[in-house]
Amino acid sequence: MYVGFDIGGTSIKYGVLDETGAILEKSAIPTSYEPAEFYQDLLTIIEDAQSRHTIDGIGISAPGIVQKDGFMLTAGAIKSLYGENFKAVLEARTGLPVAVENDANAAAIAEKWIGNAQEAANYLCLVLGTGVGGGIVINNQVYRGAHGMAGEFGWMVIDQLPEEGNIEESSVNKKTAVVGGLIRLYNLAGAAVPGFEPTQDAKEIFDRAQQGEALALKLTDQFLTDLSVGLINLISCFDPELVLIGGGISANPYFWERLQARLTITETRHEAINYLRGQTIAPVRPAKLKNDAGLIGAVYQIHQQLHR
């Protein structure tokens, strides 16, 4: 048995999984941005799992640039965890082997193991959450780049640059992430609307759009347009067989209905891509494992490490 953690900017999903990737138990807690509390939260979960199961190892998926030794060069939106080494700390505290993987890479690995990429050798996996992470698989191998930062799709700039200041305001992270993009922009725009009720739930925004709320329709339409632009850029650069989208929003049928419609419009308006539609332009599909992909991929890594 393994304990898996999928660390996000808002919450930490965790569970106990077996060697086939089946989730026996799972839950979630808010993410602590204070390192001592963060580690204590993980240790409490591990100790609780050990009281009921024989735990052979720990798998962690986390946002940011993960070095081979588990050192977190960055940690996505969790800036207080930049420079931490999850592997070294938890191995020292638990005596168990630990594997750490970038969250989007973990999702891509999970989809290859038991998800929607089992038949694909070249594919991309996007995780839409606090930011936008990416996993790149080329010839059945995760491509990490020279420094482990390949797949930071959220850093791509897709809009007109601001006159001054941080140009990341025009990035995929600020436009097409769920928390850092859609929710943030919706609440900012809503602040000027009398009687507006802010929300931290993307499903609520899509529900309001489906019910005809003008602001929600406008913001979700721009969100889907920006996401579609990002997708055709990635398809053009990598020529994948398949693009998978994970994260909590990937389970929303209304999101998928509107994304496919917007993606079709965006692709057909691009002359070169439109010519290749149905021939070489990769389909965009939901990750089969949805919000569990990071958890499962994290455990796959430690399972492989122990059974080489």
Q: Is the pLDDT of residue 83 over 90?
A: yes
- Edge-to-edge strand ranges of the sheet holding 123-128: 141-142, 132-138, 123-128, 242-246, 284-286
Average pLDDT of the segment spanning 63-78? 89
Q: Are 171 and 158 in contact (CB under 8 A)?
A: yes
Q: Are 53 and 60 in contact (CB under 8 A)?
A: no
The per-residue DSSP string of 37-90 comes to HHHHHHHHHHHHHHTTS---EEEEEESS-B-TTSBBS--TT-GGGTT-BHHHHH
CA dihedral 69, 74, 75, 77 (to 10 degrees): 180
Can you read off the two tokens belonging to residue 8? Answer: 């996000």
Quick one: fold of 2-110+291-307? Nucleotidyltransferase; domain 5 (3.30.420)
* Cα 112 versus chain centre, distance: 16
Pairing type for strands 132-138 and 57-62 reads unpaired
Encode pLDDT of 9-21 as tens digits. Answer: 889 999 999 999 9
**Where, residue-wise, is CATH 3.30.420.40 in the chain?**
2-110+291-307, 117-287
The structure's pTM equals 0.87
Encode pLDDT of 208-262 as tens digits. Answer: 999 999 999 999 999 999 999 999 999 999 999 999 999 889 889 999 999 999 9
Return mean pLDDT, the chain: 94
Yes or no: domain 117-287 corresponds to CATH 3.40.50.300: no
Q: pLDDT-based confidence at 307, cuts 50/70/90? A: confident
What is the pLDDT, as a whole number, of residue 42? Answer: 97
C-alpha to C-alpha distance for 293 and 60, rounded to whole angstroms: 12
Pairing type for strands 57-62 and 2-7 reads parallel
Can you read off the two tokens belonging to residue 24? Answer: 């026996």
Can you read off the two tokens belonging to residue 271? Answer: 């002359």
Inter-residue long-range contacts of 138-146, CB under 8 Å, 24+ positions, other chains counted: 140/112, 142/105, 142/108, 142/109, 144/102, 144/105
C-alpha to C-alpha distance for 135 and 144, rounded to whole angstroms: 8
Q: Is the pLDDT of residue 207 over 80?
A: yes
Total length of the chain: 308
